[in-house]
Structure formats: structure tokens, C-alpha cells
Structure 1
């Protein structure tokens, strides 16, 4: 059974600013629900972060520790970051998109697709709701973090 969840939010800041922060793996634990650590464990072929780079994340989801690795499949700042899991409890595909919103600001969108087969298949409906709730909070936290006055 598959999970396919998309959430979006208009953030009243320019797409370049929103994408620069959200696409930087160093900030993953600051605004992404459940993520405790994120580490660049493989650089892109040309060095740094880009297509082929891998980020290892440690997260907690439904009370369980989950370690997984996402490989960058597409990287087109400030518009798109697309990642696929290459290690973890279930196959997963995460896509971030950022575009100018009508009337100003940024339309930020996160889509998570996954194959919740096996043990996770039994909990797929619950997981889908939990993923949606987490993604809504992610975009809210992203906006709050970017809109906060500097320290």
C-alpha cells in the first residue's frame, strides 16, 4: 500500500530566501518534524550538495527511531529538490518545490511518496495522516523560523 501526501503553504518571503534555507540539509533538524540529526554522508559528483549527494537522517516517527539515507535525484535551486531513499525502513520519495505565489511570497510544497508494504502496510492509513500532519507543521515551522527576527 502506498502513501502519497502533498501539502503546501504560502510563505510571505521570496522563493530564493525560502528555498535557500529549506534546501540546505544543515537546517533539516531545525524545521522538519521528528528529525534529530542530518549529515551529508556523500557529496555530489562535483562536490558539495547536489545531484548524487546523500544525506543521512535520524528521525523519530510514531515513537520509533528511524535511520534513513536520501539521495538527491534532482536539484534546481530555488525551484526544486527531489530526493529518494536509498537506505531505510521503506522506499520513500521526497520532493520540495518553491515558486512565486500569486500576490507575492512563495508557494512552498512538500510531497512524500512511499511504499508502506510489510509491517508498515498495516499502518498505512495512520501513517498517511501522520505524515500529512507532520508536513503541515514542517511548513508552518519553516515560515516561523524564516520570519523570526534575527538573534
Structure 2
């Protein structure tokens, strides 16, 4: 079974503001469920963060520590950040999109992948947990941004 989960939320701020915060790996642990640390472990070919950069995250999911590396496949601020896992317990593809909306920004996160190892047995639970986490992520993203205004 593969996982394909999407969550979205309209955030009452412009896309440039929302995306600048959400696409900055230094904020990952502030608003993304379970992430304890995030570190830029490989720069983009032109330097810094961008297409080809790699971010190593340490997270806790279903009570287990997970270390994984996401490589930036597409980076088009303020509209798109697309990342694929290149190391970790399961294949994963994470996409953040930001669209203009009459009330601000429609922020969307999509996670796709196939559970590997022990997670294969828990695929239905995993999908529900991921969806719940994404909903909370977007709620927390909005709360962080609104409190900064």
C-alpha cells in the first residue's frame, strides 16, 4: 500500500510571507509535527538552499526516532517546494504549494510514499497519522505566522 495524503488551509497572509517561513528549513522544528531537528547537510549546486540541497531531519513518529534526508527536487518560491527522500526508513515525496487566495494563501502539503520495513504493516494507521500531522502542521504554521505579525 502506498501513502498519498494531502492537507490544506487558507492562511490570512500573502503567499510570499507564508512561503518564506514554511520553505525555510531552519523553521521546520517550529511548526512541523514530530521534527526535533533539521539541518542543511548539502548545499544546492549554486550554494545555500535550493534545487539539489539536502536537509537532514530527526523526527519522532509512532514513538520511534526517524532520521531521514530530503533532497530538494523543485524550488520555486513562493509557490513550490518539492522534496524527495534520499535516505531514511521509507521512500517519501513531500510537496509544499502556496497559491494566492481571496483570503490570503492556500497552503497545501502533500506526502506520498511507500511504507518500508515495520511501517509496511501499519500502512493504514500511518496514513491516518500523517494526515492528522499535516492538518496540525498547517494550523501551527498559521499560528506562528499570525503571532509574528
- TM-score, normalised relative to structure 1: 0.96
1:138 aligns with 2:137: yes
Distance 1:117 1:94 in 2: 16
Segments of 5+ residues of structure 1 without an aligned counterpart are none
State the match for 1:27 in structure 2: 27
Q: Secondary structure at the match of 2:89?
A: coil
Q: Within the alignment, does 1:113 sit opposite 2:112 as a pair? A: yes
After TM superposition, the runs of 4+ consecutive aligned structure 1 residues lying more than 4 A away are: none
- RMSD (Å) for aligned C-alpha atoms: 0.9
**Residue deviations 1:20-74 (CA, integer Å, cap 9, x gap):** 0000000000000000000000000000000000000000000000000000000
Match of 1:80 in 2: 80
Q: Report what 1:16 is aligned to.
A: 16
Q: Once the 2 structures are TM-superposed, how far is the Cα of residue 77 of structure 1 from its aligned partner? A: 0.1
Give 5+ residue unaligned stretches, structure 2.
none
Q: Following TM superposition, by how much is the alpha carbon of 1:149 offset from its aligned partner in structure 2, in angstroms?
A: 4.3
User: Separation in 2 of the partners of 1:149 and 1:46?
Assistant: 31
Tell me how far 1:119 sits from its aligned partner: 2.2
Normalised by the size of structure 2, how large is the TM-score?
0.98
Change (3 A) 1:117 1:59: closer
Conservation of the 8 A alpha-carbon contact between 2:91 and 2:116: no
The answer (yes or no) to whether the contact 1:2–1:116 under 8 Å persists in 2 is yes
